[in-house]
Structure 1
Amino acid sequence: MRKKDATILIVDDDDDILFSARISLKKYFSEIVTANNPKKISNHLTTSTVDVVLLDMNYRIGFEDGKEGLYWLKHIKEISPETTVILMTAFGSVNLAVEAIKKGATDFILKPWNTEKLYGVVNAGLELARSKRKNTQLETVQKQQDKDFHQQTEHIIGNSPAMQSAGKLVKKVAPTDANILILGENGTGKYVFAKEIHLQSERRNHPFIHVDLGSLNENLFESELFGYAKGAFTDAQKDTLGRFELAKGGTIFLDEIGNLPLHLQSKLLTVIQNRKVTRLGEGKERELDVRIICATNAPIHEMVDEQTFRQDLLFRINTIELNLPPLRKRIEDIELLANHFLKKLNLKYRKKIDGFSKEAINSLKNYSWPGNIREIEHIVERAVIITDNEKIIPEDLHFSAKKATLNLENNLNLEETEKLLIEQAIEKHQGNISRAAKDLGLTRAALYRRLEKHQL
């Protein structure tokens, strides 16, 4: 029989009992630890993950009431509530057994025991401990996902060469466990790509945990990412899993990693290198089984040159580097994206808007999109809300005056270019025709003619 990967702690003041229990169980479980004094329990629980504790009920000579066992049972449950406790005694008492189970014991075994009976009780306790840990993880993951419910996953949309190239790279790297760094401006879809990599990986049925490092308070960095033990700080009322442990078996997405201060970068590097995490207030290391995807809109390679980002951390996180193009570099996808968001928003607002006019599409294509995909969704949503037309027209599209720069790189239509330049000049000079005309190199009369021509 192959040994089960588990840690069993046996606590008894009789060395013969410890020896006998260890011999009986060591052929079934990978780690058998013994302690002849219950005061050693705390050290074992805080330095390693103990699955099952076999706990003697009595330690003082002449006292056989089991009160010490009940005291240490309570102590164990406070330190490690997911650990299964099985009480041992040579003096069977139904009342004591009932009291012990009410206080959190899983089972009760009499000494001397039958080896098969002992194995059966401990094995059942092990399965219970694993089930508790799994349920705790699932509950916490669910709470985290409920908190982030608004961040629903979009699909990767785009037929441009840049997007096709990015999509091919995703298919190649997703089945591996390689660390991935996604680079791109704000709003280019870094979260969407990270989620898609997870969904195409072998880890797809396990958690996907998103951590926005840009919005994470420095003081909460370790407790949020690595977790903490009860009593680690004032408000730590119970053991809490960190984001790395929540992602067990799945993927952790560390967004905006370029915003992480140097002193926290070193702590993250240690965890990534060792694949182990230590909760605040504990001394034991916990093995990590997670896939790591990072993302940033910062010029991270330049930051390494400026020594504001650790080069060794960059080496760890960018086994594969995925660069996402800004929307102004993939004009072919703008109409596709606009119609995708229109379809979604028609459902949201219970409307039946039948697409965009040709002029509206041209306006969308001629805008520079500093906010990228996030901005196009926002502009289409506003248009859906305010329009009374069957189709969205240019007047329904509200481009930010501060950001509305002409996308000359992709606009070769003279009429549209002229119209956009005039609009920007009018915006810039807050409707002052004389100043706008001067800026454009036109007379007032010439500008008026063009305003009439373009129906502005």
Structure 2
Amino acid sequence: MNAIRNESGESAPPAPCLLFVDDDRDVQVAARLLFRRSGLDILSAHGADEALTQLASFPVDLVLLDLNYTKGMTAGAEGLALLRDMLVLRPDLPVIVVTGHSGVTIAVAAMRAGAVDFVMKPWNNERLLALVEGTLKKCRACQASEAEPALIVASDDLRRTVAEADRLAVTRASLIITGAPGVGKMLLARRIHALSYEDDPAVMLRAEDCEALPEGRGTWIFRNIEALSARMQRRLADRLDARVAPRVIALSSRDHANLEDMLDPRLMLHLGMVGLTLSPLHGRADDIVALSAHFLRYFAARHGLAEPRMDESRLRLLCEEEWSQNVRGLRALVERAVLTGTWETASEEAEAVPNTALTLRDTERSLIETALRKHGFNVTQAARELGLTRPALYRRMARYGL
């Protein structure tokens, strides 16, 4: 969101940015007209994954949250789950529930889960605007924090692991999270801490560099717990034996059997009581599809570029890839695709016929021209499809003479 200049030529702060999550496009249009007339920027999301991407990509000040996104759903479970995930990313984020089918009971449940207020559909424009502006004014001091990277969950395997982590989050139990490099162990650890009753930030520790333990209790997240020296393992076991002990979330790329051989038996009694394992990305096709879409939207917004087209053949190749670096490798590949405008890897480019390859400039111009023609040269709609802001699209139109 760009800052504007006031009459004295000084930069004025950017307009507050709202995110409206609702699958009804007519409702989205009505909200956009209402808030933009009042000088507020507004982003749209039509489901949970898109909402998390927008929240990770833009400095959102407030969320308007519908509770149902799948046709026929009226229970509000989708919205309540999304509310929890958004507050994991941004604990101080003000969320106003906008509900129709779910009714007042679910709206009250959402407030107990962290929403600041609710409004019923169809809303009164003046009342909704007053509620949003009043909420922004109250929460303005809390808008500096950035969102944590989003944990995108689509496969049944990962859903089960995350559900167990959420169940354990409210306890004081120490635990071990295992899994190959790049599967998201740190993201899961941060989620557990965010959903706990601990107010203070977690202390991050690299076991190989640890020469002293923090004071107090709180939550300590240890990377590569197996690299902790024998002396520090004994000290950590002593701390966990105390009546008032810290909560330790240990991360390791080793499996449970290896850890039993590498860690002090007394320490392992504490840490090994509860274990969570994140499986490799390869074989989790649903997560690969969801993560690819998330990273495409995220990096297109971050770099101000169009999303390269994802066809069925490319998606199939992604799902068949081994992913030795797991989510980290997929993230890097998608960012490269956004930056270069093509999905081709270095080996694919070497095999391609040079004269038939489109340049990045040609590809971007073609994408923009196609989107503009599709929407009758409606810049707002074309920008939304391309994942660009209106000013960014205007700059590219000028660059290519469109």
TM-score in terms of structure 1 length:
0.42
Task: Flag the structure with larger Rg.
Answer: 1
TM-score between both structures, scaled by the size of structure 2: 0.47
